[in-house]
Amino acid sequence: MFASCEKEEQIVLGHDFEIDARLGDVDENGYYRLELGQDWQTLHRISGQVSEVVNEYELTKVRWESSHYWLIGDTLGYIVHQNWTLNDGGYLYMNNDTSYVTWFNGAEVRTINETCYSTMDGEINIMFAPVQTMEGDTITVTGVAHFADGYISEPKKIEVIIE
C-alpha cells in the first residue's frame, strides 16, 4: 500500500477581460472612430487582454459579434442586426438611397471574425472589417470570454463610428 502526504495542487484561473479597440481615445459620447480606407473593405485589428495562464490547455476563447453584416455582391445596401428593436431577432434591410438589393443568395459576411484564442500571456486579437456602405453608421462590437474553468465573462462592448 502506498500513501502520499502531498495534496494535488489546484490551479486557480483569473477572469480578467479587457478590449482595446486600438483606435485612440473615445469621444465625449464614448464612441471610437474608424476611418474607412479606399478599398471596399477596411481591415482593422482589435486587441485586448485576458488573464495569463500556465498551461496551453487553459487558453481563453473569446467569441465576438458585430451589429453589422453585409452580403456578397451587395454594393447597394447591407444588413443591421438589431435585436433591441426587432423582438423576433430578425434583420432590418437598409440602403442609402432608393436602390434595392437585387442579388441575394444568403451569403452574409460578418464584419468581425467569430472567435479568437488568447496567448499564454493573455493577449487576444481579432479582425474587424466594415465596408464602404457602412460609412456614417455606428457598429457595436461585443466580446465574451470563455475561460478554461467554465467561467463565462459578462459581455464587453465597444461602439465604433465608421467615417
What is the CATH number for 127? 2.60.40
Asked whether residue 5 is domain-assigned, the answer is no
Asked whether residue 4 is domain-assigned, the answer is no
Decide: helix, strand or coil at residue 132.
helix
What pLDDT was estimated at residue 5? Answer: 61
Asked whether residue 43 is domain-assigned, the answer is yes
Asked whether residue 89 is domain-assigned, the answer is yes
Asked whether residue 11 is domain-assigned, the answer is no
> Domain residues for 115?
17-162
Asked whether residue 84 is domain-assigned, the answer is yes
Asked whether residue 41 is domain-assigned, the answer is yes
Asked whether residue 1 is domain-assigned, the answer is no
Whether 19 has a pLDDT exceeding 60, the answer reads: yes
Decide: helix, strand or coil at residue 58.
helix
What pLDDT was estimated at residue 13? Answer: 85
Query: For 15-24, what is the mean pLDDT?
Result: 97
Q: Which residues of 75-87 are buried (b: 16+ CB within 10 A; e: fewer)?
A: ebbbbbbeeeeee
Q: What is the pTM of this model?
A: 0.75
Give the whole-angstrom CA distance, residue 81 versus residue 89.
8
Structurally, the chain folds into a number of domains equal to 1
Least confident of 25-29, 93-97, 128-132, 135-139: 93-97
Choose between 9 and 111: higher pLDDT: 111
